[in-house]
Amino acid sequence: MSSDLPERLTYGEWTRALKEGRLLGQACGACANVLGTPKGACPHCGTRDLETVELPTSGEVYTETTVMVPPEGVEERGYQVAVVQVGEARVMGRVDGNGGEVHVDIGDSVELTGYIKGEGDDPAPLFRPAD
Amino acid sequence: MTRASVVGAGMTKFGVHDRPLQELFGEAAFEAFDDAGVEPADVESFYFGNAMGGQTENDTHLAPKLASHVGIAGVPAQRYEDACATSANAFKNAVQAVEAGIHDVVLVGGVERCTPQTGLDTAEMTRIFASASHRQYEQPTGLTFPGVFALLTKRHMHEHGTTPEHLAHVAVKNHEHGTRNPRAHFGKETTVEAVLEGPIVADPFRLMDCCPFSDGAAAVVLVSDEVADSYDAPVDVTGIGHATDVVPIGDKLTPHVTQAARDASAQAYEQAGITAADVDFAEVHDCFTGAEVMASEAIGLIEDGQGGPAAAEGRTSYDGDIPINASGGLKAKGHPIGATGAAQIVELTEQIRGEAGARQLDEAEYGVAHNLGGDAATTLVTVMEGRR
């Protein structure tokens, strides 16, 4: 699997993977932090020695909120946004609330179930409670 | 050590102002000029903050426009943008310029119009505020700015047991303080029960946990240490720290500790030769109640995890042992984005001079301002003291 990972992770590669149901991140070769989104250099130590890594698609809710007053362009309200710990990295995504029936709390297990399209069709990870 | 001195301060009432940015800013700037006793010809440079004028009212290249309006056209004028920390950053650069001997007398300030009455409606403004979150990795989730601080606060609640009641006490305190400030957007008291019954904006925040959209301006005249004694009531800037944290939130090491505030306050205290224990009062960036809790801990005024209980117990009230946001803070005084950092400097100046009227604190020798921008990824902390 690792042979098809891009040497230098970009936004385009990250979104392409997301649309395939995968989460890509970067492991720092110097300070050992793992990033959930692509950078040109490690934000914690500055090295450009970043290796593209496959992140787990299931993890635990690190923090979450339910947005009741949405920005212009978002029609619904009452949707949940969460930062999810996936392995050693964290990524932000939307929780699939199934029309308000599903809610997750900090520490709950969730898994990637697809993606939603935000402004300009930019994708964001979509999570649901893990079975 | 004195790095620079504020010798004149002015600000408009925060609230709804149906007049152009230059006229709004002019009121604050002329008040600062008159307070300092300077004429436009004395001013050598202009450090200006406005965060969103291009997005909200199609008004950019504002520094020379405002300079022209207040009689200082011709001087070097620069505009800063760092989300809600916009005018604190303008102030920092001004401090560095006078300290370095580049200028002796400068004007610093900010202006912004954010109210639905004079600009865009709530949904439009919510979208514009969200532009400070990461364009690719946060905005597509539908995250709002109340949501940003909700994510940080929820984790703080999880780690430390902070409760919605604790958060409500911050709002109640700052509203009570706001009743003492004639320039506050809100001059009305509220109760914990009323806060907890409000509609949810982004949980745990209800409407009254959130600061308002405000219009307003603030300005100060800043001079070098060498010339400060020739003015009536200089207030010295002895420390100003500035740090940034990682964006997006998911890549911050520990989001709820607001590391940039810890780094910036450590720098500021070291420059001033003080510790957090020496601080008499603070103005902190309470855009949301949870933000005040995290800030009060991050700048060392309250022990980690105790920011909520401290507010509930009255420790951070006007008459508590470490008063926070005696002005009413962003919560009650209001939050015209680009003016907020400068308005904190105005409040520190007035408190240290003993000119704060009904909200004057008994002990106000060492004051601290904490102004953050974005998801707490920019933070500036300023220490000011009376000239002895």
* Nearest C-alpha neighbor of B105 from the set B291, B269, B230, B243: B230
Alpha carbons A54 and B152: distance in angstroms, whole number: 26
Query: Going along chain A, which residue ranges are E strands?
Result: 23-28, 34-35, 50-55, 58-67, 79-86, 89-95, 109-117, 123-129
Active site residue B158: no
User: Does residue B9 contact residue B346 with C-beta atoms inside 8 Å?
Assistant: yes
Cβ distance A37 to B249 less than 8 Å, yes or no, reads no
Which structure tokens are listed for B66?
């405002």
User: Does residue B16 contact residue B114 with C-beta atoms inside 8 Å?
Assistant: no
Q: Convert the pLDDT of each residue in B338-364 to its tens digit.
A: 999 999 999 999 999 999 999 999 999
Q: Which helix (H) or strand (E) holds B45?
A: strand B45-49
Alpha carbons B215 and B213: distance in angstroms, whole number: 7
Backbone angles phi, psi at B198, to 5 degrees: -70, 160
Q: Is the pLDDT of residue A73 over 90?
A: no
Per-residue pLDDT, B267? 98
Active site residue B84: yes
Chain B CA closest to residue A64: B151
Per-residue pLDDT, A3? 57
Q: Convert the pLDDT of each residue in B139-157 to its tens digit.
A: 999 999 999 999 999 999 9
For the beta sheet containing B281-283, the strands, ordered from the edge strand earlier in sequence to the opposite edge, are: B77-80, B45-49, B105-113, B215-223, B4-11, B235-244, B378-386, B366-373, B281-283
> Which residues are bridge partners to A28 per DSSP?
A50
Per-residue pLDDT, B286? 98
Percent of chain B scored above 90 by pLDDT? 99
Which structure tokens are listed for A45?
């130590």
Q: Nearest 10 degrees: CA dihedral of A28, A43, B139, B212?
A: 150
Name the catalytic one among B185, B242, B335, B370.
Answer: B335
How many CA atoms, within 13 angstroms, populate the side-chain half-sphere of residue B327? 34
Q: Is the pLDDT of residue B228 over 80?
A: yes
Chain B CA closest to residue A120: B140
Q: Convert the pLDDT of each residue in B259-289 to its tens digit.
A: 999 999 999 999 999 999 999 999 999 999 9
Per-residue pLDDT, B388? 77
Mean pLDDT of B100-108: 98
Chain B CA closest to residue A125: B141
* Nearest C-alpha neighbor of B156 from the set B251, B255, B301: B255
- Above 0.90 for ipTM, yes or no? yes
pTM of the model: 0.97
**Could you say which of A33, A66, A89 has the minimum Cβ distance to residue B203?**
A66
Mean pLDDT of B164-183: 98
Rounded to 5°, the CA angle B298-B299-B305 comes to 40
Q: Convert the pLDDT of each residue in B54-94 to its tens digit.
A: 999 999 999 999 999 999 999 999 999 999 999 999 999 99
Cβ distance B251 to A43 less than 8 Å, yes or no, reads yes
- Residue contacts between A and B (CB atoms, under 8 Å): 116
Chain A CA closest to residue B136: A122
Q: Nearest 10 degrees: CA dihedral of A56, A62, A63, A66?
A: 40
User: Does residue B259 contact residue B295 with C-beta atoms inside 8 Å?
Assistant: no
User: Does residue B126 contact residue B117 with C-beta atoms inside 8 Å?
Assistant: no
Q: Is the pLDDT of residue A2 over 70?
A: no
Quote the distance between the C-alpha of residue B3 and its chain's center: 20
Q: For residue A91, give Cα distances in angstroms to A30, A86, A108, B4.
A: 21, 7, 15, 43
Quote the distance between the C-alpha of residue B254 and its chain's center: 23
Per-residue pLDDT, A1? 46
**Could you say which of B122, B140, B251 has the minimum Cβ distance to residue A124?**
B140
pLDDT band at A98, cuts 50/70/90? confident
- Looking at the complex, report in whole angstroms how far the Cα of residue B144 sits from the nearest Cα belonging to chain A: 7
User: Does residue B277 contact residue B239 with C-beta atoms inside 8 Å?
Assistant: no
**Could you say which of B146, B154, B249 has the minimum Cβ distance to residue A69?**
B146
Using a CB-CB distance cutoff of 8 angstroms, which residues of chain B are in contact with residue A63?
151-152, 154-155, 158, 255-256
**Prior bond of B204 cis (ω within 30°):** yes
